[in-house]
Amino acid sequence: MTFGVLFPAYLAIVNAVALLMMFSDKRRARRRRKRRVRERTLLALTVGGGALGAWIGMAAFHHKTKHMSFRMLAPVCTAVWTIFILWLMYRGIRL
């Protein structure tokens, strides 16, 4: 497998996981369950490529919208990942 296959697959998977984790944590918060998703885990997914999924999860589920770290990090990381992808494409790396 090449980078052009693995990288988009990685981004799709990590964004889907981030979105599902936001949904799961919001659901657990509503049901007042003790075992919730750690904020550190959600932030790591956001920085690690799941920024768009986390940002969509914040908007769709109204989750973590009061946390400044998420309100700032999700859009910034989405922009950084977009710039990185555009840079790769500019360098001639096919995705």
Q: Is residue 45 within 8 Å of 14, Cβ to Cβ?
A: yes
Residue 58 DSSP code: H
Residue 26 within any structural domain of the chain: yes
Q: How many domains does the chain have?
A: 1
pTM of the model: 0.86
Q: Would you say residue 3 has pLDDT above 70?
A: yes
Residue 41 within any structural domain of the chain: yes
pLDDT for 9-65, tens place per residue?
999 999 999 999 999 999 998 998 778 999 999 999 999 999 999 999 999 998 888
Residue 19, domain extent = 3-90
Rg (CA), the chain: 15
Q: Would you say residue 74 has pLDDT above 80?
A: yes
Determine the pLDDT at residue 1: 64
Residue 95 within any structural domain of the chain: no
Residue 25 within any structural domain of the chain: yes
